[in-house]
């Protein structure tokens, strides 16, 4: 408990510095409104229900895109590791697609699917699928030969063997890839909503900024970063739980 307080001490210092800078008008108050006023607008945004509605819309898009990316990306990665034809077919596509800045696809997905949820989900799905596919591929290839043999000799058919041996062998690497995808989903979510959307947290940031409501804009920015932090923390806990078998008891 004590150490947690110490850990986040720099954040408290930053908050105090922020408040002081703004109060002393070291920078213009429109560029940096005092933190206390940002908090007040945050409460307002919560009270009007604006924050909840837009957060809901954003989380739905990020969640749906990420879930699709995890399921399909894992299947493709394991497929590539275990069937040569799939590898031959897909690996050039993955290689080409990997370095492409996924935000460049924002206008494309809008042309395809319009301003609503569809285009955001597609964008997040495409962007997040790449790290998931690559990590599933690398993880699946590292599965130990004798473990595969062991399962086969105890009556597992090929499909079972993939599920019982290859997937769990790939899990440590795969879970790391999904963590990258999780961070990427937030980036793609907010940037696509900033550019074209009628709701969502990114939209709200853009809208409030354009209207000059900087306190409220900061409040939404802080909400997004808190959500991102909470998602990563929650994910790490889940990951540690799932990989408990690797721990050596000291």
- With H, G, I as helix, E, B as strand and everything else as coil, classify residue 83: coil
In the complex with other proteins, which residue's Cβ is closer, 57 or 151?
A: 151
Backbone angles phi, psi at 49, to 5 degrees: 85, 0
In the complex with other proteins, which residue's Cβ is closer, 55 or 169?
A: 169
Tokens representing 124?
């997040």
Nearest 10 degrees: Cα torsion 104, 102, 111, 191: -80
Distance in Å, CB of 152 to other proteins, minimum: 4
Cα distance between residue 170 and residue 157, in whole Å: 19
Stretch that binds other proteins, among 47-55, 128-136, 228-236, 241-249 (CB under 8 A): 241-249
Cα distance between residue 148 and residue 155, in whole Å: 11
Write the CA distances from 146 to 116, 143, 154, 247, integer angstroms: 49, 9, 12, 22
State in Å, rounded, how far the first CA of the chain is from the last one. 23
Among 154, 226, 230, 238, binds other proteins (CB under 8 A): 154
Among 156, 183, 221, 222, binds other proteins (CB under 8 A): 156
Distance in Å, CB of 143 to other proteins, minimum: 11
In the complex with other proteins, which residue's Cβ is closer, 7 or 244?
A: 244
In the complex with other proteins, which residue's Cβ is closer, 87 or 191?
A: 87
In the complex with other proteins, which residue's Cβ is closer, 95 or 144?
A: 144
Residue 247 touching other proteins (CB under 8 A): yes
Among 164, 179, 180, 232, binds other proteins (CB under 8 A): 164
In the complex with other proteins, which residue's Cβ is closer, 7 or 247?
A: 247
Residue 20 touching other proteins (CB under 8 A): no
- Total residues contacting other proteins by CB under 8 A comes to 21
Residues in the chain: 250
Residue 9 touching other proteins (CB under 8 A): no
Residue 151 touching other proteins (CB under 8 A): yes
Cα distance between residue 216 and residue 14, in whole Å: 19
Contact between residue 198 and residue 157 where contact means Cβ atoms under 8 Å apart? no
Nearest alpha-carbon partner for 103 in 72, 73, 124: 124
Q: Which residues bind other proteins (CB under 8 A)?
A: 144, 146-147, 149-156, 164-165, 168, 171, 244-249
């Amino acid at each position: 408990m004590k150490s947690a307080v110490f850990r986040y001490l720099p954040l408290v210092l930053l908050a105090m510095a922020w408040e002081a800078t703004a109060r002393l008008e070291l920078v213009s108050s429109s560029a940096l409104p005092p933190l206390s006023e940002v908090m007040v607008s945050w409460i307002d945004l919560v009270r009007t229900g604006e924050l909840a509605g837009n957060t809901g819309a954003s989380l739905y898009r990020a969640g749906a895109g990420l879930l699709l990316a995890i399921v399909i990306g894992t299947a493709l990665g394991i497929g590539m590791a275990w069937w040569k034809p799939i590898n031959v077919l897909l690996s050039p596509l993955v290689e080409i697609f990997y370095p492409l800045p996924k935000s460049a696809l924002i206008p494309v997905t809008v042309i395809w699917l319009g301003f609503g949820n569809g285009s955001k989900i597609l964008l997040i799905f495409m962007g997040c699928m790449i790290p998931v596919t690559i990590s599933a591929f690398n993880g699946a290839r590292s599965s130990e030969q004798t473990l595969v043999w062991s399962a086969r000799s105890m009556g597992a058919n090929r499909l079972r063997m993939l599920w019982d041996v290859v997937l769990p062998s790939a899990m440590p690497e795969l879970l790391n890839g999904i963590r990258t995808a999780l961070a990427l989903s937030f980036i793609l979510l907010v940037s696509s909503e900033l550019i074209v959307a009628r709701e969502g947290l990114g939209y709200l940031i853009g809208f409030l900024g354009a209207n000059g409501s900087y306190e409220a804009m900061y409040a939404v920015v802080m909400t997004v970063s808190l959500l991102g932090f909470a998602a990563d923390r929650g994910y790490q806990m889940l990951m540690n739980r799932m990989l408990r078998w690797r721990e050596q008891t000291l």
